[in-house]
Amino acid sequence: MCQTSYKSKINCKIIKNVHLVDQVYEMVLDCPSIAMEASAGQFVNLYCHHKGRLLPRPISICEIDREQGRIHLVYAILGDGTAEFASYVEGEQIEVLGPFGNGFKFAPDYEEDVLIIGGGVGTPPLVQLAKELKGKKTIVVGFRSNPYLIERLEKYGKVFVTTDDGSTGFKGHVVALLEEKGLLGNIYACGPTPMLKGVKAYANKNNLKAQLSLEERMGCGFGGCVGCVTKVVAETELGYVYKKVCKDGPVFDAKEVVF
Amino acid sequence: MNLGINIAGVELKNPIMTASGTFGSGREYEPYVDMNKIGCVVVKGVANVPWMGNPAPRIVETYGGMINAVGLQNPGVEVFIEEDIPFLRQFDTKIAVNLAGRTIEEYVAVASRLATADVDFLELNISCPNIKEGGVAFGIDANMAMKVTEAVKKVAKQPLIVKLSPNVTDITEIARAVEAGGADAVSLINTLIGSRIDIHKRQFILSTKHGGLSGPAIKPVAIRMVYQVASTIGLPIIGMGGIMTGEDAIEFMMAGATGIAVGTANLLDPCATMKILDEMLIFMQNKGIENINDIVGIVN
Ligand SMILES: Cc1cc2nc3c(=O)[nH]c(=O)nc-3n(C[C@H](O)[C@H](O)[C@H](O)COP(=O)(O)OP(=O)(O)OC[C@H]3O[C@@H](n4cnc5c(N)ncnc54)[C@H](O)[C@@H]3O)c2cc1C
Ligand SMILES: Cc1cc2nc3c(=O)[nH]c(=O)nc-3n(C[C@H](O)[C@H](O)[C@H](O)COP(=O)(O)O)c2cc1C
Ligand code: FES
């Protein structure tokens, strides 16, 4: 075992693991040390009980409850690992390591207008961010069909919802809604790559600052394997270098990201 | 109990090494690991100039293993000398540098540059499946393996470990060739070439289609190869491939490895080396083994 002065995986008790909508679940973990350290936009590694599933599953921290020493995670079933998580029951233990990543950057006394943009399972980390950001907040979140986390987000600002099938809110994707409403502000975004690409273009066109939270397949989550790279602008022959999403990100300035 | 081992004249306090590419240059592991308890840190592959590496996705999970296509991304030997050696020298551990190259000239260039550097071993990686320009050719052709070993040995000022590829018909043939070329030790195994297809998207998952399979899934292959090589050549062996526990490490030593390297396990748990060391000690205690060297190659 690692000595007490060294960090290691923590066996966390599952306080709650409930179904939200469709394939989406929320897990609440008892882990005071992670809750103390974590900031908005960071993620944790969850490890499967199944011995054949070796790699960590990186999941963003949706909400941090520092008082009770808990973190909330919202995840969608995407494959075997997340399906395994959904089968866990209250009181069970799960191995967790983190928090990892740089998180969103903002000054605590920050008062400017912000535009918070999420797509699908990119939405969860925006809840903690919306909670912590001051100033006027406009929140735009897009889903394939059934939205989630909307009530929580509404506590912190005006929320616009888009759905691909038009079943709730605006029919279409989030960038189309941004265009239509002409929304402005400093952008914080997390979601699938095509959405982030659109957000970057929108930010460019309207001369807005933007921070984008990216996703990539990870081998370790803490910078050990250089597996999770993304292209970042640099003065090289090709115009970019590869940076680690887990350590240098997951949040990058939109200007640095090469899609 | 004595855990100390000797590889090519260098004393290690215990047989635990890190497998190249799974431990960076140690920095990422400092919060988790007492680096003073590691016998030797083997750093990620270093080339004479910076290498970009491959596009993402570079990693995919498989049952009991993972496939990587990192492609030896590294900032080059100058940055390594300036930043990583001073960092590692704060700790009481040995340093081995994994050499990356595409041609004999590139390997020789990086080994020469390291001649005056404060490191304990050079590990010649002639077996990385992730570079196209011929890195593989060295590892799978006995004559080429001997030539590159000879050339690097000529300029090397530190003991030279040659890392062998498992992607060959007869690994003992390559082992004999690098022994003849002047290697001071061999390490094995590097990753097995593997692949995974996303059946929904009908395409390969990795950007390079194929990559290197590592982790517990490859251990039986590695044990067999360590045993075969130990039965063939006289050089010390560093065994690796899927070591997750102290028992796994002991198994490699019984097959004929003097040192053992922990690879993928570091990625799955940054504390892995410490746990493995503790478990080895417990095994020795339980079995009344006084000197770890007594079990090396005991099955031979
Ligand atoms: C920084 C970060 C934050 C994330 N936050 C959330 C979140 O808050 N909620 C949520 O539902 N999902 C989130 N994801 C995606 C989540 O990690 C994957 O959906 C999950 O790992 C899939 O695991 P699986 O075993 O179900 O799928 P499988 O396809 O069976 O997984 C096989 C392997 O591929 C990896 N993998 C597969 N898809 C992805 C993906 N999209 N991104 C990264 N790795 C993948 C897995 O980790 C695993 O190693 C995040 C990803 C990253 C990188
Ligand atoms: C992400 C990753 C990167 C690697 N990079 C290198 C490298 O730079 N040089 C090298 O000789 N081997 C490299 N390897 C191979 C390992 O050092 C080791 O030989 C192999 O993974 C088998 O051991 P394991 O199953 O314990 O990981 C790498 C392996 C992984 C998983
Ligand atoms: S996942 Fe290993 S370096 Fe990012």
Residue A109 has pLDDT above 90, yes or no: no
- Across the interface, whether the CB atoms of A216 and B271 are under 8 A apart is answered no
- Across the interface, whether the CB atoms of A224 and B267 are under 8 A apart is answered yes
pTM: 0.95
Looking up residue A112, the CATH number of its domain turns out to be: 3.40.50.80
In this structure, is residue B206 part of a structural domain?
Answer: no
In this structure, is residue A229 part of a structural domain?
Answer: yes
Q: What is the DSSP pairing of strand A186-190 with strand A210-213?
A: parallel
Which residues partner with B248 through β-bridges?
Answer: none
Of A96, A214, A229, A238, which to mutate for an interface test with B (greatest number of B Cβ within 10 Å)?
A: A229
In this structure, is residue B55 part of a structural domain?
Answer: no
Q: Ligand 1 pocket, A103 CB below 6 A?
A: no
Q: How many CA atoms lie within 13 A of A130 on its CB side?
A: 29
State how far the Cα of B139 lies from the Cα of B135, in Å rounded to an integer. Answer: 7
In this structure, is residue A5 part of a structural domain?
Answer: no
Considering all CA atoms of chain A, what is the largest pairwise distance in Å, rounded to the nearest integer?
56
Nearest-atom number in ligand 2 for the CA of B72 is: 8
Looking up residue A247, the CATH number of its domain turns out to be: 2.10.240.10
Residue A2: the pLDDT is 46
For the record, the structure tokens of A30 come out as: 């008892």
Say how many domains are in chain B.
Answer: 1
Looking up residue A22, the CATH number of its domain turns out to be: 2.40.30.10
Which tens digits make up the pLDDT trace of A39-88?
999 999 999 999 999 999 999 999 999 999 999 999 999 999 999 999 99
Single-letter amino acid code for the residue at A166 = G
State how far the Cα of A235 lies from the Cα of B128, in Å rounded to an integer. Answer: 28
**What does each of the 300 residues of chain B score in pLDDT, given as a tens digit?**
999 999 999 999 999 999 999 999 999 999 999 999 999 999 999 999 999 999 999 999 999 999 999 999 999 999 999 999 999 999 999 999 999 998 899 999 999 999 999 999 999 999 766 555 544 578 889 999 999 999 999 999 999 999 999 999 999 999 999 999 999 999 999 999 999 999 999 999 999 999 999 999 999 999 999 999 999 999 999 999 999 999 999 999 999 999 999 999 999 999 999 999 999 999 999 999 999 999 999 997
Nearest chain A residue to B43, by CA: A224
- Asked if residue A115 and residue A146 are part of one domain, the reply reads yes
In this structure, is residue B58 part of a structural domain?
Answer: no
- Asked if residue A71 and residue A18 are part of one domain, the reply reads yes
Model ipTM over 0.90: yes
Say how many domains are in chain A.
Answer: 3
Q: End of a domain among A69, A99, A129?
A: A99
- Asked if residue A109 and residue A203 are part of one domain, the reply reads yes
In this structure, is residue A223 part of a structural domain?
Answer: yes
Dihedral angle over CA of A18, A24, A30, A34, nearest 10: -170
Residue A187: closest CA among A206, A170, A165: A206
Nearest CA to ligand 1 atom 43: A217
In this structure, is residue B156 part of a structural domain?
Answer: yes
Residue B282: the pLDDT is 97
Residue B68: the pLDDT is 96
**Crossing angle for the helix pair A193-205 and A174-181, to the nearest 10 degrees:** 20
Across all residues in chain A, what is the average pLDDT?
A: 94
By the CB < 8 Å criterion, does A235 face chain B? no
Q: Ligand 1 pocket, B198 CB below 6 A?
A: no
- Asked if residue A175 and residue A228 are part of one domain, the reply reads no
Nearest chain A residue to B244, by CA: A54
Distance A220 CA to ligand 3 centre (A): 5
Strand, helix or coil at A45?
strand
- Across the interface, whether the CB atoms of B56 and A9 are under 8 A apart is answered no
Residue A1 has pLDDT above 50, yes or no: no
Pocket of ligand 2 from Cβ distances under 6 Å = A 219, 225, 227; B 19-22, 44-45, 68, 70, 72, 98, 125, 128, 163, 190-191, 212, 214-215, 218, 240-243, 263-265
By the CB < 8 Å criterion, does A222 face chain B? yes
Looking up residue B180, the CATH number of its domain turns out to be: 3.20.20.70
Residue A112: the pLDDT is 83
In this structure, is residue A128 part of a structural domain?
Answer: yes
**Overall average pLDDT of the A218-238 stretch:** 95
- What are the catalytic residues of B? 128
Report the residue among B18, B20, B41 best suited for mutation to probe ligand 2: largest number of ligand atoms under 8 A from its CB.
B20
- Asked if residue A33 and residue A50 are part of one domain, the reply reads yes
The nearest CA of chain B is from the CA of A232 a distance in Å of: 12
Which residues constitute the domain of residue B289?
Answer: 5-49+71-191+213-295
Report the residue among A42, A55, A225, A243 best suited for mutation to probe ligand 3: largest number of ligand atoms under 8 A from its CB.
A225
Residue B222: the pLDDT is 98
The nearest CA of chain B is from the CA of A66 a distance in Å of: 23
Q: End of a domain among A77, A99, A121?
A: A99
Strand, helix or coil at B127?
coil
Which residues partner with B60 through β-bridges?
Answer: B67
Q: Bin B254: left if φ > 0, else alpha if -120 < ψ < 50, else beta.
A: alpha
Residue B135: the pLDDT is 46
Which residues partner with B66 through β-bridges?
Answer: B61, B214
- Asked if residue A180 and residue A224 are part of one domain, the reply reads no
Of B24, B52, B264, the CB nearest to A223: B24
Which residues constitute the domain of residue A182?
Answer: 104-207
Q: Identify the nearest ligand to the CA of A48 by its number.
A: 1
In this structure, is residue B238 part of a structural domain?
Answer: yes
